[in-house]
Chains A and B, each alone.
Chain A
Amino acid sequence: DAMVIQNPRYQVTQFGKPVTLSCSQTLNHNVMYWYQQKSSQAPKLLFHYYDKDFNNEADTPDNFQSRRPNTSFCFLDIRSPGLGDAAMYLCATSRLPQGGETQYFGPGTRLLVL
């Protein structure tokens, strides 16, 4: 089945230690998104890629970076995680970056910062 896969499902890191979260998709979608969802809060878009074109949200901290080496994979890098970065990180894909396009979400990676 076509799907969005996130690895790992749970990630524990230390304060200030760089961490990378992975997302892959078999849907062959052009757009990949990263959302941050803190406990009991709404998911918040960090950035998205449309093909190789990177689109950062204005309020995304510089501490968060992303890479998309090919259509299938997208990575979220947190350069120096703080305690406030503990959250569920959701990856999503869509065919096109326009209204009306359904976004398909992965299972998420829960990040714990010690």
Chain B
Amino acid sequence: KQEVTQIPAALSVPEGENLVLNCSFTDSAIYNLQWFRQDPGKGLTSLLLIQSSQREQTSGRLNASLDKSSGRSTLYIAASQPGDSATYLCAVSPIYGNKLVFGAGTILRVKS
């Protein structure tokens, strides 16, 4: 059974700092991995999707990497801003089907 773990559970950083969020999964037979952002009381916004054949994806100040063999992904946020404060969730999609398995998320607070 696929399990997804995110560390740390919460993170507080000063504005401008670069930071890394971690995601690990137990079964490497995945099709892709996605990083989502969730603002308080809101739905999920997809940030980056990495196919299993890819190593990384970049969008603006965000860079996500994937190491399928070790079951790990990282989300790197450069020059963090208060507007980046949110919960960040990662989710893996297994080889068969499109059932996303989510981690519990990392709550990020960027202080101005």
Residues of A with Cβ closer than 8 Å to B? 4, 6, 31, 40-45, 57, 88, 90, 92, 94, 96-108, 110
The 9 A-B residue pairs whose C-beta atoms are closest, nearest first, are A99-B31, A42-B102, A105-B44, A107-B43, A105-B43, A108-B43, A42-B104, A99-B93, A97-B98
Which of B4, B44, B91, B102 lies at the interface centre, i.e. has the most chain A CB atoms within 10 A of its CB? B44
Check if B44 sits within 8 Å of A98, measured CB to CB.
Answer: no
Q: How far is the CA of A6 from the CA of B96 in the complex (A)?
A: 28
Interface of A is mostly: loop
Interface of B is mostly: strand
- Minimum Cβ distance to chain A for residue B60 (Å): 18
Tally of contacts, chain A with chain B, CB under 8 A: 65
Q: Contacting B94 at CB < 8 Å: which of A99, A104, A110? A: A99
Q: Is the CB of A106 within 8 A of B43?
A: yes
Do A45 and B100 touch across chains, with their CB atoms under 8 A apart? yes
Partner of B89, one of A42, A104, A107: A42
Whether B43 and A103, one on each chain, are in contact in the complex, defined by CB atoms closer than 8 angstroms, is no
Distance between Cα atoms of A12 and B105 in the complex (Å): 26
Q: Is B46 an interface residue (CB 8 A)?
A: yes
